[in-house]
Structure formats: C-alpha cells, structure tokens
Structure 1
Amino acid sequence: MSAANSSTGCQEFLKETRYASPANLLISIQSFSLFSKSVIDKYESRSFESGGYQWKLIIYPNGYNGECNSLSVHFSIADSDSLPVGWEVNAVFAFFIHNQIKDNYVCFRGVTRRFNAVIQRWGFSKLISKETLMNPTNGYVVGDNCVFGAEVLVIKSKRVNECLRLVKDAASIKREWKIPNFSKLGDIWRSEEFDVGECKWKVKLHPKGQHTLPKNEYMSLFLVLKSLPPHQRVKAEVLMSIKTNDSSFSKKYTHWFKNSSEDWGFSKFISLADIRAKGFLADDCCFLEIEITVQAIVREALEF
C-alpha cells in the first residue's frame, strides 16, 4: 500500500450524545438502503477546513475491506502534496450520526492521532453495525434517509523542547583570590571570568555592603553566571569562604541560575566588625575562596 493511501483503523473512541450539530461537515444520504447494499463501496466527501488543514471524510458502508457488516469511517488529510517535507498533524476526530426521532446526535470521538506522510488516514474500522444503523427504533435512518457529520480538532503545537543533563560524579572546582587594599576598595570588586562546568562565572563583592544595606556594616558576596542564553538554566552548589591561615568563615547554597537571575549569594555574608575582630584582614588583604559544583544543566533542544 503506497504512502498516499496508508491508513489505520482503530476501535478506541468515546461514544456520547449531544444536541449541537457537527462543526465541520454534514452529509445527507438519500436512498440509504442502496448505499448500504454496496452500490458504491465507499463515499469520499468534499474537502473541509479545520485547524488550517484540509480534510476529507471517507465512509465505507460495508467495512474498509468490504467484508463486514459494520460501517467503517476514515478521516484523511487532503492535498497532502502541498504540505512541507516532514509535516505532522496531531488531531482528534469525531463522527456523528443524526438521531432523527430525538433530533440529537450520537458522537463517536476518537483519541488524539498523528497524521503524517506515512499514515495520512485514521478512522474507525468497525464503528457501528448495519443492523443497529438500520433499526428504525434508533432513529438513524428515517424515510430511507440518513445524516452523518464530522469534526476535526487540530492540536496546535506550541511545544517547548528542553534537555536536562545531570552531571554524573560532579566534581567541585575551587577558585581563590587575594584581594589587597580591602579598606580602599570602591563599592564593588569583580573577579576575572573563570570557567566551571562549561559556563563562565565571576565573583562580585561589595566590601561596604550592597546598596540596599546600611553602609559599612556588612560585606556582600555574590556569584555571577555570565552570558547565560535564554531558556538555559544551571543548578550549582556554591560554597563561599573568607579565610586566614588558621580559620575560615563559610556559607553554602544551592541555586538554579537562569537568565533573569544570573547572580546569587548573600547580601549579609559577614559583618565588617567580624572581619576585623576575627582576623580575616591581614595587612589589609582579604582571602576569598569559592567552590562550585555544577549538578545539572538545562538547555533548549530543537529536536529529540
């Protein structure tokens, strides 16, 4: 069977009753008894539009292969030759039969199906038996006339593709700085850029405290992830320390760094009074150590 004719039948559907008419297609078949007696082996509707695509309803009165006593129904993408290479459409389709006695519709609604160049048709292989369809008490065929309908709901793709990579046996990377003339620094000291876990980082230090704090009370310390692309995130464990030869003061955090908040740390890392009282300034030099463990990276993925 060629790709243009490929189709798949299924029996997965939800049967329900509703009063609203089908949104996309209505077909009135007169002299239905002739239709069901194989005067024609199938009926193909005119094209109708749904979700920006053209569709057709194909009805097989004696089954898809003409060898059963049940109605088969297929939904087909029309004019598929005009679609781009690699096209794919996800849709939910529904077939309707008008109950002319109760003036409502029995609806057979399928599950979401993927249409593409390989499988261009989906449908119901044994939807309803001819005996049930022709039974006058059911109201489907009245005066030898029957009304069918169709709806197709296209699932529009606005998918976000991303890839989470967990770092196996993540190693901690340490960087150290000797910062001279601490008391004479300006409002901000910034380190050079350095690489950890395929990312570029900087340390940002406010020796007199971040601008939101009272001046000359705390040292503020932040780690900055530089030039992070949109939609990328990095999860890292960070240990920040101020040290002497004999002692250290440390704070640790774990954070998801992202484009909108690429720096993270402590506005009140340590008080300036403690820095002086605990001997963290030697000859007006501050010794800083940052330890970074990159645990996970999230990147935008085009395809999988």
Structure 2
Amino acid sequence: MVVLIFVCLESAVEVKRTLRDVQPSHYIFKIESFSLLLETKTENYESDVFEAGGYKWTLSFYPNGNRKRNKKDHIALYLAISDTDNLPCDWEVHVNFKLFVYDHIRDKYLTVEDTEPARRFHVMKTEWGFEKFLSLETFQNPSNGYLIDDNCVFGAEVFVMKFAGKGECLSMTKELSDNIYTWKVDNFSASSQEYFSDEFNIGGRNWKLSLYPKGDVKVKDEKSLSLFLEVADYEKLSLKPKLYAKYKLRIKDQVNGKHFEEELSVWFGAMRRSWGRPSFMPLSDLYVKSKGFMVNDTTIIEAEIAILSVTKNFP
C-alpha cells in the first residue's frame, strides 16, 4: 500500500491518500466523455441520492474546480447529506468517509480521506470533502490512469458513527460518609473457627467482615488471627474485577489507643469477593493484656473504606 499525507493549507487539515484494490462499497460515480462535460462549463454536478448508515447522501462534483473558493486548478469532490427536512431540528451526524478515483492502468483506487476521526454534519454544515481532491494536471495526464478514453470513475464510502446504546461510567469516590464499621466480638476465646459480622453498607455496597480467631485453616497458620473484608452482595459483581476499594482493617487498642491496622487495596469481582490478610495479627500480641487488644475477652474490629469505585451502566 502506498500512503501519502500532506497538509491542505486552506483548511489546515491533513489529507491522506492511499491506493487499494477494493472498489468503494457504497457508491460509484462514472463519467463518460469528461471533456464534453468540461465544455458545458458545468460548475457543479450533484449525483443521485444513495443510502449509507441509515442516511441519504449525494456526491457534489466540481469538474473545473470550486470557483466559489477560487480553486480553478483542482477537481473538487464533496460528500453532502441529503433529505435533511426529514431529520429532527437539532440533528447531527458524525461520519468517517472516504472518496475515491479509479486508476485504470494499475487497476487500483486512489483513496482520499482526511485524518480527522470523524466529521460532524449538522444543519449549518451539510457537506464535507476536498476542494483539492486532485489537480487537473494530474487527473488529465494519461500516464496516471485516472482519465482513460475520456472516461473516469469516482466513488464514496460512508461510515456513520452511531452510539450502540450501551456504556458504563466508572467513578472513584473518596469522600464517603459513614465509612467506618465497628464490630465488637465478645467471648473471643470461645470463638469457633470462623466468624462473620453483620452486613453493613458503605458507599451503596453491602459488606461484611470475616474473622478466623485461630487463623485461616487454608493457610495453616494457627499463630495468627485472619481478617478479611468481603462483598456481601457478591452475586451482583461482574466476572471481571470492577469494584475497587482502598480500606483499612483495624483491631482497636482499648487501653492505650495504639490501634493495630493495615491498609489494603484491591479490585473485587465475582472471582475475588474477599480480600484481607491470612496472618493479620499474631495471637501472641492479641492476648497480651497490656496492649489492650483484648479486654474482658472482647475484641473490637473496624473496617474503614477510604476510596471506592462505582460503576454504572447507561443505555
């Protein structure tokens, strides 16, 4: 593929030209006896209407150049939207389009497009295109293959950029109200292998804490307390991790105020609905009376969520 990019000074838009084998998919515009068309001194010829992307279009062709813009040495070719009377009063259409001219000698199509991702058609701008589509000198030179036996072929491809009707909004929330949950665990020494807190709501999401007083059996650490934050309504989670949380898990020092805590962050998903530390705190520290983590066989645990993501789908 041959690619040439140059800057059109009049519109300050980069124009890309490429050669390809495949013909335009939406419209072909063939002119026979081009020289006779020039003799008619036709300033502008408008093609028949064709449909693409759910809208109606025409090609606007200036064989002697667009004299309204004082361009006399280039063929001008534009794509114009048609039948706009049947569109809403505030209509606008975003379009990626390509215009073509056929090279008879090389059996290829010269493709002309600007490098903007899309052009916006609206009531005040109903056509876009190229006032310097191709110089007349280049076009009429037989060795270039664009005008052979006084015949030429132009074309168009029009791709309307339509919103598919689905999307999502990801927002990161830092200032959460009532973002601390306190869990008082009584009779700690008599606790079973696993404890769950009541469900609590922070940031519009239901959570719970899971506690292993003698360590998580899955990691076989019986010398540490295990503590995790879990998404209680995990069945609502996506398979992909899409719920981010930055939080602290804390065991309060009820005597000295020197709490033991760890900050964690994770993206929760259906396959990761719980996250914490299997070896959160050594039991040897927990049961030291002077450290204040256990008072009258009661431990106070907190979860504090600092940052939370919220994902909303919209139609």
For the superposition of Structure 1 and Structure 2, which TM-score range results when normalised by the shorter chain?
Answer: 0.7 to 0.9
Query: Once the 2 structures are TM-superposed, how far is the Cα of residue 223 of structure 1 from its aligned partner?
Result: 2.4
Pair 1:297–1:145, CA change in 2 (3 A): same
Aligned AA for 2:37?
F
**Contact in 2 for aligned 1:38/1:62 (Cα 8 Å):** no
Partner of 1:269: 280
Query: Once the 2 structures are TM-superposed, how far is the Cα of residue 123 of structure 1 from its aligned partner?
Result: 0.9
Query: Once the 2 structures are TM-superposed, how far is the Cα of residue 283 of structure 1 from its aligned partner?
Result: 2.6
Partner of 1:4: none
Q: SS of 1:243's equivalent?
A: coil
Partner of 1:68: 71
User: How do 1:104-183 and structure 2 match up within 5 A?
Assistant: 104-111=108-115, 112-118=117-123, 119-155=125-161, 157=163, 160-165=167-172, 167=174, 174-183=180-189
Instruction: State which drifts further: 140-149 or 270-279.
Output: 270-279
Q: Runs of 4 or more off by more than 6 Å in structure 1?
A: 228-232
**Contact in 1 for aligned 2:138/2:144 (Cα 8 Å):** yes
**Contact in 1 for aligned 2:75/2:133 (Cα 8 Å):** yes
Query: Once the 2 structures are TM-superposed, how far is the Cα of residue 96 of structure 1 from its aligned partner?
Result: 1.7
Q: SS of 1:240's equivalent?
A: strand
User: TM-score by structure 2 length?
Assistant: 0.73
Which one of 286, 289, 295 corresponds to residue 282 of structure 1? 295
**2:260 is the alignment partner of 1:254:** no
**Deviation per residue, 1:264-301 (Å, 9 max, x gap):** 2123323445533567433321122333323x644447
Distance 2:215 2:92 in 1: 56
**Deviation per residue, 1:214-255 (Å, 9 max, x gap):** 486543212245659768744424242253414543322233
**Contact in 1 for aligned 2:93/2:122 (Cα 8 Å):** no
Partner of 2:196: 189
Q: CA RMSD in A?
A: 3.8
Query: Once the 2 structures are TM-superposed, how far is the Cα of residue 125 of structure 1 from its aligned partner?
Result: 2.0
**Contact in 1 for aligned 2:207/2:233 (Cα 8 Å):** no
Percentage of identical aligned residues: 32
Q: SS of 1:12's equivalent?
A: strand
Instruction: State which drifts further: 105-114 or 77-86.
Output: 77-86
Aligned AA for 2:298?
C
Query: Once the 2 structures are TM-superposed, how far is the Cα of residue 57 of structure 1 from its aligned partner?
Result: 2.1
Aligned AA for 1:204?
S
Partner of 1:6: none
Pair 1:298–1:283, CA change in 2 (3 A): closer
Distance 2:302 2:12 in 1: 64
**Contact in 2 for aligned 1:38/1:61 (Cα 8 Å):** no
Question: Bigger relative contact order, structure 1 or 2, given CA contacts below 8 A and separation 6+?
Answer: 1
User: TM-score by structure 1 length?
Assistant: 0.75
**2:59 is the alignment partner of 1:93:** no
**Deviation per residue, 1:86-128 (Å, 9 max, x gap):** 6554332222222223333322122322334333321112222
**Contact in 2 for aligned 1:77/1:115 (Cα 8 Å):** no
Aligned AA for 1:142?
I
Q: SS of 2:287's equivalent?
A: helix
**Contact in 1 for aligned 2:246/2:263 (Cα 8 Å):** no
Gaps of 5+ in 1: 1-8
Pair 1:86–1:12, CA change in 2 (3 A): same
Query: Once the 2 structures are TM-superposed, how far is the Cα of residue 141 of structure 1 from its aligned partner?
Result: 1.7
Aligned AA for 1:127?
F
Partner of 2:18: 16
Distance 1:120 1:301 in 2: 33
Gaps of 5+ in 2: 1-10
**Contact in 2 for aligned 1:171/1:293 (Cα 8 Å):** no
**Contact in 1 for aligned 2:251/2:299 (Cα 8 Å):** no
Pair 1:226–1:34, CA change in 2 (3 A): farther
